[in-house]
Amino acid sequence: MKQSLGNKIAHLSVEKFKSLPKTGKPKETEWTILSSIVKEQNSTFEVVSIGTGSKCIGKTKMCPKGTIVNDSHAEVMCRRAFLRYLYSHLTEDSAIFYSHKNKTFSLKPGVKFHFFTTQVPCGDAAIFPQDHKNEDAGSIIEDSTSENIPAKKRKLEDIFRTGAKCLKDSMVQDPKTDGATYHVLGVVRTKPGRGDPTASVSCSDKLAKWCHLGIQGALLMLFLAEPVYLSSFTILKESPFCQKSLERALLERVTPSLSLPYQKHKLEFYKADKSFVYRKTENRLACSSSICWWYSQNEQQNFEVAVNGRKQGVIKKNYLTEKGRLGICKLELFKTFRDKCLELKIDLDSDMENSTYEQAKRLSKSYQNNWIILKEQFRTWTMKDPELLHFTVTG
């Protein structure tokens, strides 16, 4: 059953990607990562959001107006597109939600969301011995879940490694021995990048956060009675991975006895036989563009191509204007949140026209309290410039 479900999710995802416009897709000499979220409802499956990409902008290019997408890795693009999908379904006639008298929403019985990706997420999940690839057992350190222990001294070529780096202010760093650098397990890392370093944590860390707090984030949580959790994680067998490393990175870094007010949630892991034509190989270059696609409530399809966090093909004078920004950037998601508050006549005791993005997120007190508890488990997280969160919907 697990094998067939994983294959079904992978097949739907890859075929939906094939059906999208050619704009933004890799050339034959390029590779990219594909991620998707598949809805299951009444025994039917449907792809509802897609993201591709492997790029991330540096700290110096981050925009205080919320108009640039900092992280264009496939997993993040897919998740941001999924947020737009969820917002569009916050209606009385929603196909996936039912509403409560207090104007909050819950998923209808039987609605599930499955996550798919063609390559192991960067960061902690990508660290495992090569002799355990595509197996359900094995990790660099036996019984290592949350302890920061250096990897056993293996030859470097025996270990699948990640380019993601330990946070500079973290007390734990990858140790160097005899001129070689070894990885520690279970730590928060920032995404790899050439030149200007990034401030974005790895996809392993972001997925771990979504697994424990829900994929909806703080703003959407203000409309929901409970978080939206992913039910499964499917990855292609042609991509080297280790299930124990995935479980460690996404689930087991949090103490089992931790009392999070949100419900405990178990993620199922599947592996699929489907092939992806643009998978990473030694003779291919990383595609510079990213794609995001999502369905809306009215079955409208939304498709965007991103380069350096902006819409592809936008001239410089339009970089910060509505013409230049993606519908999944922070500012556009904030506007969607504001518009949904007005549409549903939800009074949050806050002036949405003048509230900053940070102030609005702080209104989601339950989510923020859970996030504080979770960050203590991770021991550290990136501290971005507060000015990057002080924009408003009016600019």
C-alpha closest to that of 208 among 119, 261, 145, 162: 145
| CA-based end-to-end distance of the chain | 50
For 11-41, write each residue's pLDDT tens digit.
999 999 999 999 999 999 999 999 999 999 9
Intervals of the chain under pLDDT 50:
1, 133-155
- The predicted pLDDT at position 105 comes to 97
Contact in structure between 45 and 11 (CB atoms under 8 Å): no
- The predicted pLDDT at position 293 comes to 98
- The predicted pLDDT at position 178 comes to 64
Partner residues linked to 370 by β-bridges: none
The span from the CA of 105 to the CA of 308, in Å, is: 35
Give this prediction's pTM: 0.92
Outline where DSSP puts E strands in 197-298: 232-236, 268-272, 285-286, 289-295
Contact in structure between 39 and 48 (CB atoms under 8 Å): yes
For 122-149, write each residue's pLDDT tens digit.
999 999 888 754 443 333 433 333 344 4
Structure tokens of 78? 């897919």
Would residue 40 show up in a list of annotated catalytic residues for this protein?
Answer: no
Structure tokens of 211? 């697994």
Which of 40, 46, 75, 268 is catalytic? The answer is 75
- The predicted pLDDT at position 390 comes to 92
Q: Identify how many contiguous H helices and E strands the chain contains and give both numbers.
A: 8, 20
Rg (the chain; Cα; Å): 20
C-alpha closest to that of 116 among 264, 287, 232, 274: 232
Contact in structure between 330 and 395 (CB atoms under 8 Å): no
Partner residues linked to 304 by β-bridges: 292
- The predicted pLDDT at position 317 comes to 66
The span from the CA of 378 to the CA of 389, in Å, is: 22
The span from the CA of 361 to the CA of 160, in Å, is: 37
